[in-house]
Amino acid sequence: MKNIGFIGIGVMGKSMVRNLIKKGFTVSIYTRTKQKALDVIEEGALWCDSIEECVKQKYAVITMVGYPKDVEEVYFGQKGILENVSEGTYVIDMTTTSPKLSQKIYQEGKKKGILALDAPVSGSDIGAAKGTLSIMVGGDKEAFEQCKFIFEALGKNIVYQGKAGNGQHTKMANQIALAGAISGVCEALTYGKVVGLDLNTMLDSISKGAAGSWQMDNMAPRILKEDFAPGFFIKHYVKDLNIALEEIDDRGVTLNVLETVENMYHTMQREGKGEFGTQALVKYYE
């Protein structure tokens, strides 16, 4: 039960693999570039040369890749997960991706006796490293219960959201709320700067009151240090906001803050800033 396959060793995935190893799991890994995974291999992860090798004879397979097209690639086709896992395997996509795609994986997996969960996370690189991620899970309740011990190695706030795709819909709600929070922090800092406040002193005051938030506590200090390293890439956040816009457009609803912040981040991505962390939104105001 502690034999896990893990595909996608990026900023988040690497820390998640480390936490699984610390909790006693045997973790086989695959990613496109082995060089990027050498450190976790030295720490005990087992390298595999292909998806097929990585997913064979596993209790569960976790994916944490970049974009919906990457999810499609690793799950479908002759070399994909669904063609190569054993019947009864749990497949857990923790990528933030399209709810429609999560539903497709669930339905195709069900035909083969494979149990699929969509389980996107929130908490950035900090939560991934500390094992304190919030995890939002969609799929069959029984499958969730059978995999909860895996989620407990990765996060603290683990909530079953209902049917397949609901984990992703919940993550979209999270990303929409984040849009207002991070833009609010950046605008507050911009205002404080132009009126001549000491920004650290300002933050000491407003972060403890009604304006306080995770973004203010964790991202504002990075902004003041001009630390724009990605805990979460702008390019990935643009992807998430576009998914949210597609879902809400299908339902004939307008969300003005979502549209405005997506446009801001999209502008930054076009300017070559997609590799920065989301806190770099403050640069938009410069």
In one-letter notation, the amino acid at residue 228 is: F
The CATH fold of domain 3-164: Rossmann fold (3.40.50)
| pLDDT value of residue 17 | 97
| pLDDT value of residue 286 | 87
All CATH 1.10.1040.10 domain ranges in the chain, comma separated: 169-285
Per-residue pLDDT of the chain (286 residues; tens, 9 = 90+): 799 999 999 889 999 999 999 999 999 999 999 999 999 999 999 999 999 999 999 999 999 999 999 999 999 999 999 999 999 999 999 999 999 999 999 999 999 999 999 999 999 888 999 999 999 999 999 999 999 999 999 999 999 999 999 999 999 999 999 999 999 999 999 999 999 999 999 999 999 999 999 999 999 999 999 999 998 999 999 999 999 999 999 999 999 999 999 999 999 999 999 999 999 999 999 8
Choices 1.10.1040.10, 3.40.50.10600, 3.40.190.10, 2.40.110.10: CATH for 169-285: 1.10.1040.10
47: number of CA atoms within 13 Å, CB side? 14
23 classed as catalytic: no
| pLDDT value of residue 43 | 97
Q: Which of 171, 193, 208, 273 is catalytic?
A: 171
Task: Annotate 3-21 with b (16+ C-beta within 10 A) or e (fewer).
Answer: ebbbbbbbbbbbbbbbbbb
| pLDDT value of residue 264 | 98
- Is the torsion defined by CA of 45, 50, 56, 58 positive or negative? positive
Cα separations (Å) of 132 from 67, 156, 160, 172, 232?
A: 23, 5, 16, 19, 16
- The Cα 129–Cα 256 span in angstroms is 33
pTM for this prediction: 0.94
Q: Are 93 and 118 in contact (CB under 8 A)?
A: yes
**Helix, strand, or coil here: 210?**
coil
- Please list the residues that pair with 4 across neighbouring strands: 27, 60
For residue 22, the tally of other CB atoms under 10 A from its CB is: 12
All CATH 3.40.50.720 domain ranges in the chain, comma separated: 3-164
